[in-house]
Chain A
Amino acid sequence: MDALIRFTGTVLPLPARDINNDVVVPGRFLKMIDRDDARLRLALFHDWRFFEDGRPRPEFPMNRPEHQGATILLTGANFGCGSGREKAPWALLASGFRAVISTSFAEIFRSNALNNGLLPVTVAARAARALLAAVTKEPGLEVTIDLPAQEVRWRGGRASFPIDSFSKRCLVRGWDPLDYLLWHAGAISRFERTR
């Protein structure tokens, strides 16, 4: 996993709340033997992005010229609910996203995102509204996400976000939590002997 420290990018606004993982990656795209980025890019928000005949829906924000190249998704509460499919953060990463900003996340999505270096940024409702208003006014607005400072900054606004210290250290230093578990193999064996 690459270290993720601070970066600046533009925002794709998708303000609906409760966007579930069946919408993020519809079921029929899930079948894969190993992570398949081309398929995941096609799958992302597929049924909201395309008509049944495959033509793009012009009004969907991802299809708007002003939002091409966005690396930050700004979305409504309880993002990633329902299915725990890890293909949801994979598809976002494969499509160039590095962070998702919302007022809340579903638990498995949040954990899957952190495990893959996609940063879930939980901000207060007021900050989310302010950022949405700013992006609506100026779609190319540059937004900086500063993980060490746990802060989102844009011209005219800023918001802090929480993250547990372990996840933060893993992301900033590019650590893999599996190494932490493997490091404790001895303790795990001792635990197994007590049962």
Chain B
Amino acid sequence: MTRRRFCEAVGVGAAALALPGCGGRARTLYDKIWDAHRVLEEPGYPAVLYVDLHLLQDNTSSPAFHGLRRRGLSVRRPERTIATIDHTLSTTDPARPHPDPTTRAIIEAMRANSRGAGIRLFDIDSGQQGISHVIAPELGLTQPGMTIVCADSHTSTHGAFGALAFGIGTTDVERVLATQCLLASRSKRLEARIDGALPAGCTAKDVILALLAKLGIDGAVGHVIEYRGSAVRALSMEGRMTLCNMTIEAGARAGLVAPDDTTFEYLASREHAPRGRAFDEAVVRWRALATDDGAAFDTAVHLDASALEPMVTWGTDPGTAVPITARVPDPAARPGAGERASARRALAYMDLRPGEPLLGRRVDVVFLGSCTNARLTDLRLAAALLRGRRIQVKRMLVVPGSQQVKRACEAEGLHRVFLDAGCEWRAPGCSMCMALNGDEVAPGQYCVSTSNRNFEGRQGPGARTFLASPLTAAASALTGALEDPRRWTR
């Protein structure tokens, strides 16, 4: 049977479209997923794109349900929708009704809306609650070749599995609830090739911070990034999630890593992943998703992972990362007037001066958490440095990304390591990443954070954020100042 005839025989589902050669041209991973989910596309209209998995979170979904009710519409595919409570939840005592009435109302609305629509909610008594971008992968809900959306910009995280995943707004949530589809237009393709072996003391977080410094925070607008190269292949799924998570910080629509044995190993035996023969068949389909030889990208960027150093941001956007051994850059050296003005504003907010070393800069708070770096391997890395030592910062919050992560840490005794070092061991949630739940950095304080955004006020009004890896965060906690983790790992 020729390839084309075979494609016709199996229909136009995801499997057929993922086969190389169907359609007769070399395609990227992104093109294959897009083609397989395009319901229709009329001239002069955006494409109607089918959504396989829709994640709902507490902070953005309630107005969408109000919108549905106003129009008298119902949820088309509740079984393709899951809900979690992560943004607003207290991390000290999540089971107690939240002291803030609005927060309480938001959490109750999430419960009522899920119940009313027949949507599965991973509530705090489920044993599986956590940050949406942590729980969907660990439950095996995130799978290669899928389209995944959520009213949350860090939905890009799921691209680590070779799923096309991106953030949408509340109006789009309403549309997806009603029709399981989105209106979208095709993005350009950006190849980010990362080769070489990561040096000791460096992690996926340092890779993405270095890439953001290279691309800038609008360097990938209009693009979907596919991460390729030996350094990407060598990353664990958790590292790949960190990479894809911060893809949005370059302005990209989504980030992707082609699924491989690392992906399949991670997925095997996850609760919602296919099992037995179905799993083997899925692996055949998933393998075929990889970008064909000769497929074209619109843009390319290259990074040598072996030359990296631990990275830290000095400014108020995630593109301001520099090696931790560097000095605060001089705004006058930046290319355009707009960039110079932003840099000056950032330095004033951070109260830093050009030319001063970053190493040794005072740190008040350390936050180890968020959908970027609150998975088991992240917490293990930090615990390895903290074991048997005491932190020198005012406080360090350790907030696991999910109840599963929390249990796994406790089974390994990591929580004891954190507590003995003087850290606070919290219940899962977004916590100090966005300071929506009461976990805040005080005005003027410096926080080394493993999260993804250092914007003004992000971790609380007047809070000053240094973004870094879990290793750099732990080393800085031990020193009470910005610290090179290589001094502690050697």
Contacts and interface: CB of A to CB of B under 8 A. Distances in A.
Q: Is chain B found bound to chain A in the same assembly?
A: yes
Interface of A: 15-18, 20, 22-23, 26-28, 30-35, 47, 52, 76-78, 81-86, 104, 106-108, 111-112, 115-116, 164-166, 177-178, 180-182, 184-185, 187-188, 191-192, 194-195
Residue among B46, B63, B100, B171 with most chain A CB within 10 A: B171
A84 B251 contact: no
Nearest to A108: B167
B103 interface: yes
Interface in B249-301: 249, 251, 253
B420 to A, nearest CB: 32
B338 A17 contact: yes
B172 interface: yes
A47 B181 CA distance: 37
A75 B169 CA distance: 22
Interface residues of B, number: 66
Contacts of A106: 218, 221, 251
Contact of A104 (B218, B248, B342, B345): B218
B102 A31 contact: yes
A106 B59 CA distance: 21
Nearest to B45: A166
B326 interface: no
B183 A30 contact: no
B317 interface: yes
A17 B338 CA distance: 6
A17 B339 contact: yes
B169 A112 contact: yes
Nearest to B100: A31
Contact of A177 (B105, B183, B435): B183
B151 A84 contact: yes
Given A83-B153, A187-B48, A30 B59 contact: yes
A181 B175 contact: yes
B40 A85 contact: no
A191 B71 CA distance: 24
Contacts of A194: 11-13
A24 to B, nearest CB: 10
A20 B342 CA distance: 12
Interface in B37-57: 39-40, 44-46, 48, 50
A88 to B, nearest CB: 9
A77 B171 contact: no
B170 interface: yes
Interface stretch (B198-206, B375-383, B397-405, B450-458): B450-458
Contacts of A166: 44-46, 183
Interface in B450-490: 453, 455-458, 461-462
A107 B172 CA distance: 13
A192 B443 CA distance: 51
A27 B175 contact: no
A125 to B, nearest CB: 10
B179 A178 contact: yes
B230 interface: no
A165 B44 contact: yes
B45 A108 contact: no
Interface in B374-427: none
A178 B175 contact: yes
B13 A22 contact: no
Contacts of A35: 63
16 contacts: A17-B339, A18-B218, A22-B458, A26-B461, A27-B434, A31-B436, A77-B338, A78-B217, A78-B251, A111-B172, A166-B46, A166-B183, A177-B175, A181-B175, A188-B179, A191-B50
B341 interface: yes
Nearest to B221: A107
Contacts of B167: 84, 108
Contacts of B62: 32-34
Given A76-B338, A86-B60, A165-B44, A108 B168 contact: yes
